[in-house]
Structure 1
Amino acid sequence: MTEAVRHTDPASSSRDVKAEARGVLQSLRRLFDQLGPIRLSSTILFLILALMMARFSWTTPLIQDAERALYDMRASVFAPQVEKEDRVVMIVYNEDTLKLTGQRSPVDRTILAQALETIDAAGAKSIGIDILFTMPQDDDALLLSTFKQLQTPTYLAYADPKYNPEIAFAEHEFLKDFLSEAEGPNLKPTSIRLNTDSDGVQRRWTPEQDGAPPFMAMALTKPNPRFSANDGTIRYLVPANADMPVFDKFPIESFADPATAEMLQSFIQDKYVLIGGDFIDRDRFETPIGAISDLEGTDGKMIGLEVHAHMLAQLLNDDMPAPIPGWILWTAALIVAICGGLSALIMGNAVKVAGILIGQFAFFLVFPFFLQNIGADTLTLPAFGWALGWLFGYASVGSAARTINSKQRAFAQGALGKYLPQSIAGEILRDPEKLSLHGEKRKIFAVFTDLEGFTKLSHAIEPEMVATLLNDYLDRLSEVALEYGGTIDKFVGDALVTFWGAPIAYADDGERAAKAAYALYQAGEDFRKNVPEGVPPIGRTRVGMHYGDAIVGNFGGEGRIQYTALGDAMNTAARLEAANKALETKVLISREAMERTGLDWCRPMGKITLRGRSTPVEVFEPVPDWEQKDREAVTAIIAAHQNGDTDYVQALSAMMKQYSEDLGLGNLLKRLEKTKNGESYALG
């Protein structure tokens, strides 16, 4: 057996592609037409805004405050916990030191010189001094002499007015001279500048400054390429035990006092020593972990020296969070905006839709925490921006979708309104289940119309005029049917088929159907009185109405369906309409329908046997312009006929004089004369 090989026709494939392309273009054209240029432009603008929000929320005023708050929460929750960071020791001037020395600013330099001798003798790895020497003191010579004798690598604070505007020119000049005199093999300048964000919170390393000496943490240790740019996130440490601080901190006078200095040397041997101030009124910074670090009920701020200690520990741990590439942030922003837009188009079960929307917001909340936990740098991750971008995308597409839906709804309601009353069309659009998607048995009032002689007329005039007249005629009748709440089933030539009781049934369907039946006749009369000049006379509109069972619903195939009614009610109404010709009446209503109208303006027209039927039907004709006594008189005549009373002939003949132009009444007289004892008159 050989296997057949299917060959693809390149020309056919090309045609398919072109057809798909045309389909896409047509869809876009319809979208443009439905939205209009202004709405479409605003939608695109809002989507672009959503993208920008999801990408640049960290640099957008007000929004960046929310981003910072979320980041601080992440940084606090997932800050690394340590028992103690014992590689770094802080030695500080504090309020007690100031009381002891009687000197606040500048700090006492003699006590610093004495402490440095102790630290140097203890064998510290390196020393960082976070104190700016910007004015002369009497003990400068002692301190400079100590600097020259140090064996431990020491780094002395330097600040440039270009980056530190709080330093005056004269102060800077003295600082340069002091450093120049102090500098030696083991003493170098170091940059101590800490750049906070605009809200005053210290979250990140200070970028390298042109011409500035190495940053303190970098100067105290060996070079680390991962920290060379100094532009990453500070990974603050938190204590595993709330009763223990992260770093040991000693007052500087303890190392200057010979009585305690020797005992403390073991605490700084092979350690990185940071010397600076711990004052309540200066050099204090808010940090992302302020609430956690506020162990003693202070203001939660951290002294600058401790910030340097955290950065030094971070460098020693080689713990620089990996930055998220810009292209990933752009991609994420685009996905967020698209997801927001697509979410506005989600249809279906409300619980399911709510679950999808809540799930997306949960992702925006949880995913940044996940990234923070695995060591990613989420400092510039637009978590709040994602939510806001999603919301803008949702709102923009949702607004456009509502516009389209509104127009589609208006179109659908207009289309349904050609067959259904506006009230019913509106209800079906709100609840499509009311328009049954399958056949169901219903009790309905069926109404058929027919224009007498129109087929013959259509052969006598031009086709264009036929179309004009027919459209005008059917428009008039459709308007009447819809005005009275009927459902238009179909048009069959010049005939209108309509019914009441489906797809939605109302208690007054019978009354409205009967009034509509008579109004349809009147609309036909008005039409034939107003035809253009030169058109041959047009006959009357005949109407038949019956109440009974029918199967109502959508019928047809997959390609086309029609909402229609089938069954006895429809067939009987059609035969009643046709019976008007033989009975010379205008509107015939069966007893089954008449008894449910609630109206008293119908006269009985005897009992007839419709063509193709064996069961007689009692029929009535609406005559709302008759006096009640005349309708009652005809009713009495019909009753007398059923009882075999022949005197009715004279009574009906007398009425004929009053209603001489009533052809139906004359026809009734003829039929009664041909039958007796209430017999049915069979139509041929």
Structure 2
Amino acid sequence: MPRWDRWSRKAKRIWADTGPLRLGFTLLLLAIALLVARYSWNLPLIVAAERGSYDVRTTLFAPRVDQDPRIVMIVYNDQTLIDTRKRSPLDRRTLAQALRTIDAMGAKSIGIDILFDQPQDEDAELLAAFRAMKTPTWIAYANVATNDDQIIYDQQQFLDGFVRSLGGTAVRPASIRLQVDADGVARSWPEPAPGLPELLTRAMEPVPGYARYQGSVRYRMAASEDRPAFASLPIDLFRDPAMAQALADQVRGRHVLIGGDIVDIDQFETPMTATTARTMVGLEVHAQMLAQMLDGPPWKRLPNGALWAVAALVVLAAGLTSLTELRWFQLLPYLGAQLLLFGGLPVWLAWRGVDTQNLPAVGWGLGWVIAFLALGSAARAVGAQQRRFAQSALGKYLPRDIATQIVQEPEKLALHGEKREIFVVFTDLEGFTKLSHSISPELVASLLNRYLDALSDVVLAHGGTIDKFVGDAVVAFWGAPIARPDDGTNAAKAAYAMWQAGEAFRRHLPEGVASIGKTRVGLHWGEAIVGNFGGEGRIQYTALGDSMNTAARLESANKSLDSSVMASREAMERSGLDWWRPMGRVVLRGRATPVEIFEPAPDFPASDVHHLQDILNGLLTNRQQGLSDLAALVARYPDDAALQNLYMRVEHTPSGEAYVLD
């Protein structure tokens, strides 16, 4: 059976056999697994792991670049603070002098990451430098609403006035707001905030596609330690225009970012910090975002539909894995393939340049585990329920070895009907109904139980399945729930042994009990629908179909045939035994098609079996000779009532036709 069919059947069985409470709990867990596999970045206990996983991928595949020729950082460093004897605010005379020099060098744009939020003695000189600027210049702007930890109301009022005083110049305000996650790491471009102008990097170089971009910052890493990704020059070098001319090539045509690179001030952790132990000043974060814009289109993310599809695939794969019937070592290749798929996909996407922030890499793994455990526990619960059912019921009508196998593999005991080829045995005890009217009910029950126990022992000893008891009748079959190569042999031997058990029973009746008739047995092979039937409240493992009816009619035919055990040709040919003797063709009661019948006769000489078959075959060509030969054979066995009955039937049946039983 294809593996998908087994998965499907097992899933249907779990669905059907799981109680409402457990089923609801399982579905709830599957829903949780799906949500975890999709929204793990929004779950408090998982988001830290997702961020860590993302940081590793970002560090692993961050572009290793030479020094960027498009951007230069001009910085106040710790030596500048020592020389100017100012730490906060930064010395504005130095800035004014540097701006005049940079403006003359032909910079493409200038972005200043310094807040002018309080008055200084050098403000007039700085404002004069700003008003004289020809290079497009943006100065830092912030407000209390978005940055209340660094600016207060009075500072914002001064900053607003400072910006207004530059109206009509080449100098405009820009937001320097950067965004960090709850763990303090700057991974994403900041979201737009009301009351703030355009972000500094977007203002310096507007690029289509980045106007509303809020994805991840694509950090670059230096290809070598001695050449950082962005050139960083001390601002002191630009105070004297004559000395700064040597640096003109470092500025001309480039975007210039001016700000602080001071120990322990404006430092940001990045996705690479955990690996490199290096933080990044805010000015360099702006440089990274500006370089990202200049590199090309925004970093793409997987669409929402694709994330849902992968989450559903995760749950489906976990469910199918939990329902598989493979052993652990056979399961390893499938687990390896899923680990490669769900564990490798985020890495592959990051390598291909896809933004994997908010990609639930850890969530896929956790969702898989939840779904696997949810369906696995449901399957184990159903399996335990089926084992309890099997242990309580199978031992009553299945052989021990088959019952043990069913307990180990409950799915072999179909809880629905399935078509099987089986050997069917019907028995009936002649005269028991009449006897039961003449003795006490207690004795009837005692005798019936003893008789049925004897025949049941025969069935189970020969590997058969007890279908049912109908009064004193026993119905059994071979070939289900587990079929074995020797089912035909066992069924035939059991049919004969059941007749013998019946004979032993009638020889050992209690004193005072009238004699009882023989046990009649019918054996047939054919197709039947086998399974548990009867509804939820009361079920019975049984077989239904024409083969059952044929076996019953063969049993009943024994009375008309003066025989005890009778089998169809279909059962005889598949029994693997050579003790059968042909008993002609008959039309069973209620049937129109003739049936060739055979009787087990282990003591009947093989030579006479072949002779009898030749006689029956010869009747079609020379009826008189055949009748004469059959009469001679019957005469040699005067006590064989079944053989004499055969002669009677042949004698009274037109040539080539079958005897019709009443």
Fold equivalence (TM over 0.5): yes
Counterparts of 1:388 and 1:401, CA distance in 2? 20
Shift of 1:190: 0.2
Of stretches 265-274 and 404-413 in structure 1, the one that deviates more from structure 2 is 404-413
Alignment of 1:655-666 (within 5 A): none
Shift of 1:81: 2.2
Shift of 1:431: 7.8
What is the aligned counterpart of 1:99 among 74, 82, 100? 82
Q: Is there any run of 5+ residues in structure 1 with no aligned partner, and where? A: 1-25, 436-449, 504-519, 530-535, 544-554, 563-610, 616-682
Identity %: 39
Shift of 1:475: 9.8
Matched, 1:383 2:366: no
CA contact (8 A) 1:93 1:276 kept: yes
Shift of 1:459: 3.0
Shift of 1:420: 4.8
**Matched residue type, 1:473:** N
The equivalent of 2:204 in structure 1 is 220
Secondary structure at the aligned position of 1:459 is classed as helix
The equivalent of 1:351 in structure 2 is 329
The equivalent of 1:194 in structure 2 is 178
Alignment of 1:230-245 (within 5 A): 230-245=213-228
The equivalent of 2:26 in structure 1 is 43
The equivalent of 1:438 in structure 2 is none
Counterparts of 1:200 and 1:541, CA distance in 2? 95
The equivalent of 2:230 in structure 1 is 247
The equivalent of 1:268 in structure 2 is 251
Q: Label 1:472 to 1:135 Cα distance change in 2 as closer, same or farther (>3 A).
A: farther
What is the aligned counterpart of 1:177 among 161, 174, 189? 161
Counterparts of 2:187 and 2:291, CA distance in 1? 15
Secondary structure at the aligned position of 1:250 is classed as strand
The equivalent of 2:72 in structure 1 is 89
The equivalent of 1:286 in structure 2 is 269
CA contact (8 A) 1:135 1:174 kept: yes
Counterparts of 2:602 and 2:252, CA distance in 1? 120
Q: What number of residue pairs does the alignment pair up? A: 493
Counterparts of 1:384 and 1:116, CA distance in 2? 49
The equivalent of 1:303 in structure 2 is 281
Matched, 1:210 2:186: no
Shift of 1:353: 1.9
The equivalent of 1:661 in structure 2 is none
Q: Label 1:427 to 1:392 Cα distance change in 2 as closer, same or farther (>3 A).
A: same
What is the aligned counterpart of 2:318 among 329, 340, 352? 340
CA contact (8 A) 1:130 1:305 kept: yes
Shift of 1:83: 1.4
Shift of 1:409: 3.1
The Cα offsets for residues 429-468 of structure 1, whole Å up to 9 and x where unpaired, read as 4389x99xxxxxxxxxxxxxx99xx632313558xx99x9
Secondary structure at the aligned position of 1:182 is classed as coil
What is the aligned counterpart of 1:256 among 222, 239, 246? 239
The equivalent of 1:331 in structure 2 is 309
Q: Label 1:495 to 1:216 Cα distance change in 2 as closer, same or farther (>3 A).
A: closer
The Cα offsets for residues 350-391 of structure 1, whole Å up to 9 and x where unpaired, read as 433221122112211111122122222211111111111122
Counterparts of 1:53 and 1:478, CA distance in 2? 60
Counterparts of 2:451 and 2:244, CA distance in 1? 110
**Matched residue type, 2:194:** D
CA contact (8 A) 2:10 2:323 kept: no
**Matched residue type, 1:163:** T
Shift of 1:74: 1.4
Counterparts of 1:395 and 1:74, CA distance in 2? 29
CA contact (8 A) 1:92 1:249 kept: yes
**Matched residue type, 1:409:** R
Shift of 1:243: 3.0
Secondary structure at the aligned position of 2:256 is classed as strand
The Cα offsets for residues 538-568 of structure 1, whole Å up to 9 and x where unpaired, read as 889999xxxxxxxxxxx96675799xxxxxx
Shift of 1:329: 1.5
**Matched residue type, 2:453:** L
Matched, 1:140 2:123: yes
The equivalent of 1:592 in structure 2 is none
Counterparts of 1:217 and 1:323, CA distance in 2? 22
What is the aligned counterpart of 1:477 among 450, 453, 460? 453
Shift of 1:239: 1.8
Q: Is there any run of 5+ residues in structure 2 with no aligned partner, and where? A: 1-8, 414-426, 478-483, 485-500, 531-541, 543-600, 606-639, 642-662
Counterparts of 1:200 and 1:301, CA distance in 2? 11
Matched, 1:164 2:147: yes
The Cα offsets for residues 224-269 of structure 1, whole Å up to 9 and x where unpaired, read as 2310113121111112223321000011111124563221122111
CA contact (8 A) 1:124 1:273 kept: yes
The Cα offsets for residues 495-523 of structure 1, whole Å up to 9 and x where unpaired, read as 7999xxxx9xxxxxxxxxxxxxxxx99xx
CA contact (8 A) 2:431 2:517 kept: no
The equivalent of 2:384 in structure 1 is 406
Q: Label 1:371 to 1:478 Cα distance change in 2 as closer, same or farther (>3 A).
A: farther
Q: Label 1:413 to 1:180 Cα distance change in 2 as closer, same or farther (>3 A).
A: same
The equivalent of 2:571 in structure 1 is none
Counterparts of 2:340 and 2:302, CA distance in 1? 21
Secondary structure at the aligned position of 1:418 is classed as helix
Counterparts of 1:182 and 1:495, CA distance in 2? 108
The equivalent of 2:92 in structure 1 is 109
CA contact (8 A) 2:37 2:311 kept: yes
Q: Label 1:478 to 1:216 Cα distance change in 2 as closer, same or farther (>3 A).
A: farther
CA contact (8 A) 2:178 2:190 kept: yes
TM-score by length of 2: 0.65
The equivalent of 1:648 in structure 2 is none
Counterparts of 1:475 and 1:205, CA distance in 2? 87
Q: Label 1:77 to 1:144 Cα distance change in 2 as closer, same or farther (>3 A).
A: same
Secondary structure at the aligned position of 1:163 is classed as helix
Q: Label 1:404 to 1:241 Cα distance change in 2 as closer, same or farther (>3 A).
A: same
Secondary structure at the aligned position of 1:377 is classed as coil
Secondary structure at the aligned position of 1:227 is classed as coil
Matched, 1:130 2:105: no
Counterparts of 1:195 and 1:328, CA distance in 2? 27
